[in-house]
Amino acid sequence: MPAYEYRCDDCNETFTVIASMSEKEKGLQVVCKICGSSNVRQVYSSISVGAKNKDLPIIGGGCSCGGAC
């Protein structure tokens, strides 16, 4: 089953919710596992991590030539 990461706007904690695709499509009622608030939003961690990794060589090395220039 896929896992979804959520962040609570009230306590700023992140937590993982495991739900099936059909549950998600029906409109999953997610509440914070820490404080019980329904003021939560989904975090697309895999996408943001991927973008961050992509940026790293540009910031660190200055170019993407692998040290040839």
By the criterion CB under 5 A, which residues form the site for Zn ion?
8, 10-11, 32, 34-35, 37
For the bound state, the minimum distance from the C-beta of residue 41 to Zn ion, rounded and expressed in Å, comes to 11
Nearer Cβ to Zn ion (12/20):
12
Nearer Cβ to Zn ion (11/30):
11
- Strand 14-18 to 3-8 pairing: antiparallel
Nearer Cβ to Zn ion (11/17):
11
Q: Contact, 40 vs 6, CB < 8 A?
A: yes
Kindly calculate the radius of gyration of the chain based on its CA atoms and give it in whole angstroms.
Answer: 18
For the bound state, the minimum distance from the C-beta of residue 13 to Zn ion, rounded and expressed in Å, comes to 5
